[in-house]
Amino acid sequence: MRIDNSASRTSPESLLDVAALRADTPGAGDVVHFNNAGCGLLAAPVLAAMIDHLRLEASIGGYEASAARAEQVREFYAETAALINCTPENIAFAGSATHAFSTALSAIPFEAGDVILTTRNDFISNQIAFLSLSKRFGVKVVHAPDLPEGGVDVAAMATLMRQHRPRLVAATHIPTNSGLVQPVADIGRLCRELDLLYLVDACQSVGQYPIDVAEIGCDLLTATCRKFLRGPRGSGFLYVSDRVLSAGYEPLFIDMYGARWVEPGRYQPVETAARFEDWEFPYAIVLGCAAAARYARQVGMDAIARRTPALAAGLRDRLAGLPGVRVLDHGRQLGALVTFAIDGWQPEAFKAAMDARRINSALSFRHFAQFDFGDKDVDWCLRLSPHYYNTEQEVDQVVAAVADLSVAGGSRDDR
């Protein structure tokens, strides 16, 4: 999937009514929220969906409320499927993207000597999961090299695919520790040609870019709802392809929701991706996720995909011109995560100084990204991640704050 970050004759802001979107975002007037890669600010319809259901649970009971809202709960699957171009039967709710990812991994019958082929920029929890499989089952983890300009070398990855015939190919679309956008569709075409199982972590790209699982060519895709999709915390989803379902893949610990106990010594998995779900659901959160997916689609993913990276590109360019600031994002394609190091500050003190200015941000550390931060020779960075409801004036405010702090060099009391 190629992301076009080039300039356009049409202003990204002109495609959206930013003032109306901010009016629909309760927190937008309270903080400069540049931590959408952590959690996006909830939109009013998302908040209302959750509160309304909790009130219903309080008034008539939890089981009764879920039964009364069964049709609305089903909309989560329809809305999420429409967001990524699949059918509702391919979607499973999960408590987080990591929950979805580990559940997907548990369905693969790894054996000693199997190979997982991945990148040097996969998310920390994914990398740890691969190492855990290596430790427990003797699986070999192979990392494809990066290009000199950043991002995975797809040609080298193709060679490794043919050399190792991996049991699984995995890639993170947008790593949490940089603005890099990986060419997941190029990897997917290779996987289809070689009939290899392919798992994509789309945690930072769902809600930021249009996602088409058919175009990506993945068998499994995981995401959270709390980031650029602007859904509630404690939620995510797993996409499971028809190919995986028909091949009989199922999670290691399947429960009464995902399977039927058909006789004393046998169970039968359900036919849909529901086999990857558990019986207990946080129904208010599920309804909030449905509202978030619906809201993103109503705003328009194409317009979001133009405005959000454009705000980040402007922020990145201006930060790069500040003394003592080193922008860390490398790659042919860059998204809405902007990372930088700054001289003269300790991480917690610098973030606290930004917090004091009511600018929300996030810290990343070397142990989040051993390969990437090792290559860049940094121990920590600050991550800023604007979204479509942020403004150019907020970009000005953030740049001015970093400029002021870079001159201060940590010498003030707020260090």
pLDDT digits (tens, 9 = 90+) for 369-379: 999 999 999 99
CB-based burial of residue 268 (10 Å sphere; 0-12 exposed, 13-18 middle, 19+ buried)? exposed
Mean pLDDT of 139-150: 97
Query: Which single residue is written with the structure tokens 């995560």?
Result: 337
Taking alpha carbons only, the member of 135, 140, 184 closest to residue 163 is 140
Of the residues 276, 298, 320, the one at which a domain ends: 298
User: Phi and psi for 234 in degrees, rounded to 5?
Assistant: 75, 30
- When pLDDT is averaged across residues 77-85 and rounded to a whole number, the result is 98
Question: Pick from 298, 331, 351: which residue ends a domain?
Answer: 298
pLDDT confidence bin for 53, thresholds 50/70/90: very high
Same domain, 99 and 165: yes
Look at residues 264, 281, 298 and tell me which one is the last residue of a structural domain.
298
1 falls within a domain: no
Same domain, 117 and 220: yes
Q: Which domain holds residue 28?
A: 18-41+300-407
Q: Which residues contact 377 (CB under 8 A, 6 or more apart)?
A: none
**Half-sphere CA count of 87, side-chain side, radius 13 A:** 8
Question: 320 and 214 in one domain?
Answer: no
Same domain, yes or no: 51 and 165: yes
Same domain? 108 vs 204: yes
Asked if the structure places residue 2 within a domain, the reply is no
> What's residue 410's pLDDT?
60
* End-to-end CA separation in angstroms for the chain: 42
Residue 175 dihedral angles phi and psi, to the nearest 5°: -65, 150
User: How far is Cα 158 from Cα 50, in angstroms, rounded to an integer?
Assistant: 45
* 291 and 319, same domain (yes or no): no
Q: Residue 392 is part of a domain; what is its CATH number?
A: 3.90.1150.10
Structural domain count, the chain: 2
Tokens of 135: 């430790």
User: Is 35 part of any domain?
Assistant: yes
Average pLDDT, the chain: 94
Task: Let me know whether 218 and 204 are in one domain.
Answer: yes
Confidence of residue 11 (pLDDT cuts 50, 70, 90): low
User: From residue 22, how far is each of 25, 27, 29, 226, 247 by CA, in Å?
Assistant: 5, 8, 8, 18, 46
Contacts of 138 (CB under 8 A, 6+ apart): 111, 112, 113
Residue 81: partners with Cβ closer than 8 Å, 6 or more residues away: 87, 88, 90, 91
**For residue 309, is it within any domain?**
yes
* In a domain? residue 412: no
**Residue 59 domain flag:** yes
On whether both 212 and 253 belong to a single domain, the answer is yes
Residue 1, pLDDT above cutoff 70: no
The rounded distance, in Å, linking the Cα atoms of 260 and 212 is 32
What does the alpha-carbon distance between residue 336 and residue 174 come to, in Å, rounded to a whole number? 9
Backbone CA torsion sign across 160, 162, 166, 168? positive
pTM assigned to the model: 0.94
CATH number at residue 195: 3.40.640.10
Whether pLDDT at 310 is above 70: yes
Position 5 in a domain: no
Band (pLDDT 50/70/90 cuts) for residue 10 is very low
Same domain as 337, residue 224: no
Same domain, residue pair 140 and 248: yes
Is there a single domain that holds both residue 242 and residue 338? no
- Co-location of 26 and 50 in the same domain: no
Q: Is residue 127 part of a domain?
A: yes
Q: Could you read off the pLDDT of 197-236 as tens digits, one per residue?
A: 999 999 999 999 999 999 999 999 999 999 999 999 999 9
